[in-house]
Amino acid sequence: MSTESAPAPQGNVAEEQRPRIAVSALTTNLREYGLIIALIVIMLFFQFTTSGTLFKPVNLSNLVQQNSFIIVMALGMLLVIVSGYIDLSVGSVAGFIGALAANMMVIWQLGPLSNPLVVSIVCLIVGGLIGAAQGYWIAYHRIPSFIVTLAGMLIFRGICQALLGGGSSVGPLPDGFKALSSGFIPDVIGPLTLIPPTVNAAGKTILGSGLTLHMTTVVLGLIAVLAYAYFGVRTRRKRERHGYEAEPFPLFVIKTLVASALALFLVYEFASYRGLPVVLLVMGVLISLFVFVTKRMTIGRRIYAMGGNPKAAQLSGINTERLTLLVFINMGVLSALGGLIIAARLGQAVPAAGLGSELDVIAAVFIGGASAMGGVGQVIGAVVGGFIMGVMNNGMSIMGVNVDWQQVVKGLVLLGAVIFDVYNKNKA
């Protein structure tokens, strides 16, 4: 049997340990960074085929605003899939929440309750309740999640359409609400003009780009990059102080430098347009939160254990039913947030909002390396997977590829990514 490995003789263990750690650090890192490298390659490919449109600041802002709802929902879906379940209802729930929000703000005239902030909070709570209702059957009655959420997909799409009175849309939504998707953070520091333009008598710019930077964005970006580097170094120091070998130092430096350079490049891009999109900030906060929860918190650990072996998790004292319920409540809240983002971006609620997006969300998680069997998957993987889908959508649209063929390409990429993963695992 391949799972049986003969116990190594004692003397060799210490000698073998060092190179093995280096090799394993390299292979795990390769697998992890492979995805990010794939994203960069895809971006460069589209940068080339769209003759530079992809990386234009305005297009990057668009790209983020178009795909943020997929990534927000992918965070919830990652936990669902790691737990060993699936949720097909997220697109319909998002559509329903959009319709609910629009009705509350535009049609129903609820007075102070029609305030966008209040509406958003109510909608997130409703999303959580929907998640709880579905999760209850899955967790406590062991009804397969595929079936429960398939039912949810039909039910909430139906309610969404009913709320919108058949085929019509409800809008326009208040500007304050739309800022969630299409707004940018205010520049509290004030813009900085790089190289002020020198204009000649004829009114023609002869020197300087006249480029102004959104300084709040720049400062926030610098803080984020410095924090990233600081925490990286601190963790490394801590490991060394405890006498444990971290990843090889050159690898660490390269990793930090490349990540920082990429981040600074993006910061520059956003700062040279209208600053950081609000939705990107929301997304960034959520991504950090979910990375922390999955990597550092006990509940995250328990979710992975439950997905890896539910019986063993239960026999280790983990309340797997309650945990399942929580995972679906979380999914419901994030679906609701996704629904709000979609409605805010469109400026109105439409019956088809979020239609089919569950498939994009699930694809993002699987491209990101999660296992359909549960127990395996990373937040960063799902996020990068989401961006890969988003960049392909955006790039192919700019190239003028027909929507039909876009689907074919996305399907092939999903299949290819998973085959690559399985092949890698079997080889290891």
The footprint of other proteins (CB under 8 A) covers 1, 3-8, 10, 13, 16-17, 20-21, 24, 238-239, 242, 244, 296-299, 301-302, 304-305, 308-309, 311-319, 371, 375-376
Quick count: other Cβ atoms within 10 Å of Cβ 358? 23
Would you say 200 or 298 has its CB closer to other proteins? Answer: 298
What three-state secondary structure class fits 67?
Answer: helix
Q: Provide, rounded to whole angstroms, the least separation between the CB of residue 282 and other proteins.
A: 23
Would you say 15 or 404 has its CB closer to other proteins? Answer: 15
Which residues neighbour 141 within 8 Å (Cβ) at sequence distance 6 or greater?
A: none
Contact predicate 185/216, CB 8 Å: yes
Would you say 16 or 175 has its CB closer to other proteins? Answer: 16
Which residues neighbour 354 within 8 Å (Cβ) at sequence distance 6 or greater?
A: 69, 90, 91, 92, 93, 94, 95, 98, 338, 339, 342
Would you say 51 or 244 has its CB closer to other proteins? Answer: 244
Q: Provide, rounded to whole angstroms, the least separation between the CB of residue 152 and other proteins.
A: 28
Residues 138, 306: Cα–Cα separation, whole Å = 14
Residues 213, 394: Cα–Cα separation, whole Å = 25
Would you say 102 or 318 has its CB closer to other proteins? Answer: 318
Q: How far is CA 103 from CA 51, 163, 216, in A?
A: 42, 8, 35
Would you say 5 or 402 has its CB closer to other proteins? Answer: 5
Which residues neighbour 107 within 8 Å (Cβ) at sequence distance 6 or greater?
A: 170
Q: What angle, 0 to 180 degrees and rounded to 10, lies between the N-to-C axes of helices 320-346 and 175-182?
A: 110
Q: Provide, rounded to whole angstroms, the least separation between the CB of residue 308 and other proteins.
A: 4
Q: Provide, rounded to whole angstroms, the least separation between the CB of residue 291 and other proteins.
A: 13
Q: Provide, rounded to whole angstroms, the least separation between the CB of residue 23 and other proteins.
A: 10
Render 161-207 in DSSP notation, one character per residue: HHHTTTT--B-PPPHHHHHHHH-B---SS--EESSPPEE-TTS-EEE
Using the structure block, give the residue that is written with the tokens 């959520």: 286
Would you say 415 or 425 has its CB closer to other proteins? Answer: 425
Using the structure block, give the residue that is written with the tokens 């060092």: 18
Q: Provide, rounded to whole angstroms, the least separation between the CB of residue 359 and other proteins.
A: 26
Q: Provide, rounded to whole angstroms, the least separation between the CB of residue 371 and other proteins.
A: 8
Would you say 7 or 111 has its CB closer to other proteins? Answer: 7
What three-state secondary structure class fits 212?
Answer: strand
Q: Provide, rounded to whole angstroms, the least separation between the CB of residue 319 and other proteins.
A: 7
